[in-house]
Amino acid sequence: MSSSADGDDCDVVVVGAGFGGLYAIHRLRQIGLSVVGFEAAPSVGGVWWHNRYPGARVDVDSLDYCYYFSPKLFADWQWTERYASQDELLRYLNHVADDFGIRRQIRFGSRVTSAQWLPHRQRYHVTTEQGDSVACRFLVMTTGNLSVRRSPDFPGLNDFTGEWVQTSHWPEHEVDLRDRRVAVIGTGSSGIQAVPVIAEEARELYVFQRTPNYSAPARNGPLDVEAWRRIRKDVPGARAELMRRPVGTRVRRAERRAGEYSPAERSAAIEARWNFGGQGLNLVFSDQGTNQTANDYVADFVRERIRATVKEPRVAELLCPKDHPIGSRRLCLDTNYYETYTRDNVTLIDMRAEPIERITSSGIQTADRHYDVDLIVFALGFHAFTGALNSAGIRNARGAAPTDRWQRGPRTYLGLMSAGFPNLFSVTGPGSPSVLANMALGNEHHVDFIADCITYMLEEGYSTVEPTREAEDQWTEHVADCASSLIRLRVKNYMVHVNDDDQSRVFIPYSGGFDRYVRHCDEAKERNFAGFQFI
Ligand code: FAD
Ligand code: NAP
C-alpha cells in the first residue's frame, strides 16, 4: 500500500466484516491485491456480531450455512448442532479471521460515510466517520442486506426509566431477564426466536404482535456427524452440488404439484416436512409459491397446528396468519414458539386491535391499558437491501448515488453492479438470490465472481468495469419476469418494493433459483464477462 493526496492507496476497499467481507479480503488478497477492510463494529462477524439476542441461531442447517472455499477449514470445524447458535457462528467467524490472517487487514470501529469516484484517478476516495482516508481502484460492498436496523420511534421512549434493547443491536453485556417484566415488540424471525427463551426467564412476558407470521419447528438437535464426515471427504464436490440447488442448501426440492397428490398423500407430504423441521415446509409442493390452492393446503396445516398447540382459542386465532400466504414472508423457524403461549407468564397483545399509544416512564400504554415493564425488547427488523448502501455515501463522477435510479425498484446487472458506477461491486444485493438462498454460499459465489472479474481485467490491462445499460435493463426485466407469477408479490414486506403512485410492485431479490442464477453468472464469465464494459 502507498500514500497519496487522497490518503493511503490500495487496490480494493472491502466494507463490512461478516461472511462476505471476510471471504472477500481473503480471496482478493489471494489474487495479489492490496486490500483494506472497514468495519463499523469493533470486531468481525457482521450479523452474528450484532444480533446476539437470546435464541439467535441460523435457520438453515449449519452444514449448509458455512464456508466451502477451504476443505481444511471445513474439516477443522465441527459444528455442534443442526442449527448453529449465534455464539457458535461468531466463534467460527473469529476462527476464520484468525486462521487466514484476515483480521489485521481490517480497521474496526470505522464506519464508511463517503466513497467518491474520482474519474481522473480512476479511484474511489473512501473516508470514514473516524477520519480514515483511503483511495482504491475497486470498492466491494459486503455491507449486508440486514445490517441497518429499524430503530424504535414510539413516542415517549425517552421517558422510559427501565431498560430497552434491540435484537438487531443486542448489547455485549448480559441483559438480565430473570424475574423481570419484559415486553417484546415485533414477531418476525428475530422476535419468534427470542420469545421462548425470554419466557423461560422472565417473570412476565408481554409479546406485542402486529402481523402474525408462519413459523415451522426447527427441530434443532446435535449435528449429524456422519453427514459432516461424508462432506469432508469431498468438499469441492459438495460445494459444486450446493451451487446446483435452487436455494443453495441440501433441502430436498419439491417434486410434484399439489394437484398430483391424493388428499391423503398431500397431508402426509406436509406432515413429513413439518416433522423433519426447517425451511422444507416451503418446498412441499412445486407450485406452492404460485398456486393459491397449493399454498392453502400448507397454510391450513400450520393454522391447525397452532390451534392444536395453543388451547386458548382467542390466542390461537391471533397467532394464525390469515392475511398472507405461507412463504410470502420469510418462513420463521422456532423452538417451542407456539407452545410458549400456553405458559402462565406470557400474554399476547394484538397491536392492530390494541395499538401502542406511547411508552411511559414505567411501561407501555396501549389504547386499552397500561403494561408495567422493566425491559423492552424491540425486534423491529431492518432497512433491508438499500439501508447500508445508502448510508455509505457512495457517489459517482456526476454526484449520483447508486440507488438514485432505483425509485421504481432496484436496477442492477446480476445483482452485482449498476451502470454508471465503475468498479463498484455489491455483494448479495438486490437482483441476486440474496435472502432467498443460503447467504453464506451466496457470499462466496459473489466474491469468487468479483475476483475472477478483476483477474480478467488485470490480465487484459483494463482499468474500469461497469455493466452496460442494456445488460442492466435486460437483467432487471428478467428479475421481474421470474417474480411475476409469485403469489408473494402481492404481499407487502421487505422483499417487495411498492411504487407509491400506482402501487405496482417489484420483487427485490432474484427468485429464479440460486442454481439458475449461478448458471447466468457462469455464462457471462465464459463469454468474457458479457454485459460488462471494460475500459
Ligand atoms: P453482514 O453479516 O450483515 O455484515 C455486514 C457488515 O457490514 C456488518 O458488520 C456492518 O456493521 C458492516 N457495515 C455496514 N455498513 C457499513 C459501513 N458503512 N461502514 C463500515 N461497516 C459497515 N441468512 C441465511 O442464509 N440463513 C440464516 O439462517 C440467516 N439468519 C439470519 C439471522 C439474523 C438475525 C439476521 C439479521 C440475518 C440472517 N441471515 C441469514 C441473513 C444474513 O444477512 C446473511 O446470512 C449473512 O450473515 C450476511 O453476511 P454479510 O457479510 O453479507 O453481511
Ligand atoms: P422482520 O421480519 O422485518 O420483523 C419485524 C417485526 O417488527 C414484524 O413483526 C413487524 O410487524 C414488527 N414491526 C416493525 N415495525 C413496527 C412498528 N412500528 N410497530 C409494531 N411492530 C413493528 O425483522 P426480523 O425479525 O429481524 O427478521 C428480518 C430477517 O432477518 C428475516 O426475514 C430473516 O431473513 C433474517 N433473520 C433470520 C433469523 C433466523 O432464524 N436465522 C432470525 C432473525 C432474522 P409487521 O410484520 O406488521 O411489519
**Side chain identity at 533, as an amino acid letter?**
Q
End-to-end CA distance of the chain: 24
Contacts of 70 (CB under 8 A, 6+ apart): 235
Q: Which three cell numbers stand for residue 266?
A: 398431500
Query: Is the CB–ligand 1 distance for residue 58 below 6 Å?
Result: yes
Per-residue pLDDT reduced to its tens digit, 310-357: 999 999 999 999 999 999 999 999 999 999 999 999 999 999 999 999
Single out the residue of 284, 264, 266 nearest to residue 276, CA to CA. Answer: 284
Parallel/antiparallel/unpaired status of strands 356-359 and 363-366:
antiparallel
Q: Which atom of ligand 1 is nearest to the CA of 128?
A: 19
Position 7 pLDDT exceeds 70: no
- 495: β partners: none
The kind and range of the H/E element at 425 are strand 424-426
The CA radius of gyration of the chain, in Å to the nearest whole number, is 23
**Side chain identity at 222, as an amino acid letter?**
P
Average pLDDT over residues 358-380: 98
Average pLDDT over residues 51-74: 98
Q: Which three cell numbers stand for residue 23?
A: 471471504
φ/ψ of 365, rounded to 5, equals: -100, 120
Residue 464's pLDDT band (boundaries 50, 70, 90)?
very high
Q: Which three cell numbers stand for residue 248?
A: 443453495
Per-residue pLDDT reduced to its tens digit, 395-416: 999 999 999 999 999 999 999 9
Position 463 pLDDT exceeds 60: yes
Average pLDDT over residues 212-234: 98
Average pLDDT over residues 28-45: 98
Residue 4's pLDDT band (boundaries 50, 70, 90)?
low
Residue 5's pLDDT band (boundaries 50, 70, 90)?
low
Average pLDDT, rounded, for the chain: 97
Position 6 pLDDT exceeds 90: no
Ligand 2 pocket by C-beta < 6 Å: which residues? 58-59, 146, 150, 168, 185-191, 193, 210-211, 330, 333, 351, 379-382, 435, 494
Per-residue pLDDT reduced to its tens digit, 263-278: 999 999 999 999 999 9
Parallel/antiparallel/unpaired status of strands 532-534 and 465-467:
antiparallel
Q: Is 369 helix (H, G, I), strand (E, B) or coil?
A: coil
Ligand 2 center to residue 379 CA distance, Å?
6
In this predicted structure, what is the pLDDT of residue 492? 86
For residues 327 and 215, the answer to whether their CB atoms sit within 8 Å is: no
Query: Is the CB–ligand 1 distance for residue 428 below 6 Å?
Result: yes
- Within 61-188, residue ranges assigned H as helices are 71-76, 86-99
The protein residue whose alpha carbon is closest to atom 30 in ligand 1 is: 58
The protein residue whose alpha carbon is closest to atom 8 in ligand 1 is: 46
Query: Is the CB–ligand 1 distance for residue 146 below 6 Å?
Result: yes
Inter-axis angle of helices 439-460 and 19-30, nearest 10: 30
Ligand 1 center to residue 492 CA distance, Å?
22
Parallel/antiparallel/unpaired status of strands 465-467 and 496-498:
unpaired
In this predicted structure, what is the pLDDT of residue 8? 73
Tell me the DSSP string of 269-337: HHHHHHHH-SGGGGGSSTTTTT-HHHHHHHHHHHHHHHHHH--SHHHHHHHS--SS-TTSSPPEEESSH
Parallel/antiparallel/unpaired status of strands 133-141 and 7-15:
parallel
- Within 426-501, residue ranges assigned H as helices are 439-460, 469-483
Position 2 pLDDT exceeds 70: no
Contacts of 293 (CB under 8 A, 6+ apart): 258, 259
Tell me the DSSP string of 366-419: ESS-EEE-SEEEE---B-TTTHHHHHTTEE-TTS--GGGGGTTS---BTTTB-T
CA separation (Å) from 325 to 332, 355, 490, 494? Answer: 13, 24, 10, 15
Position 162 pLDDT exceeds 70: yes
Q: Is 4 helix (H, G, I), strand (E, B) or coil?
A: strand
Position 153 pLDDT exceeds 80: yes
**Side chain identity at 285, as an amino acid letter?**
F
For residues 363 and 373, the answer to whether their CB atoms sit within 8 Å is: yes
The protein residue whose alpha carbon is closest to atom 48 in ligand 1 is: 144
Other CB atoms within 10 A of residue 523 CB: 11
Best mutation site among 193, 209, 210, 324 for ligand 2 pocket (most ligand atoms within 8 Å of CB): 210
For residues 243 and 515, the answer to whether their CB atoms sit within 8 Å is: yes
Per-residue pLDDT reduced to its tens digit, 286-320: 999 999 999 999 999 999 999 999 999 999 999 99
Contacts of 187 (CB under 8 A, 6+ apart): 195, 207, 209, 210, 211, 212, 213, 379
Q: Which atom of ligand 2 is nearest to the CA of 83?
A: 41
φ/ψ of 143, rounded to 5, equals: -95, 0
Tell me the DSSP string of 176-222: P-TT-EEEEE--SHHHHHHHHHHHHH-SEEEEEESS---EEE----B
Query: Is the CB–ligand 1 distance for residue 130 below 6 Å?
Result: no
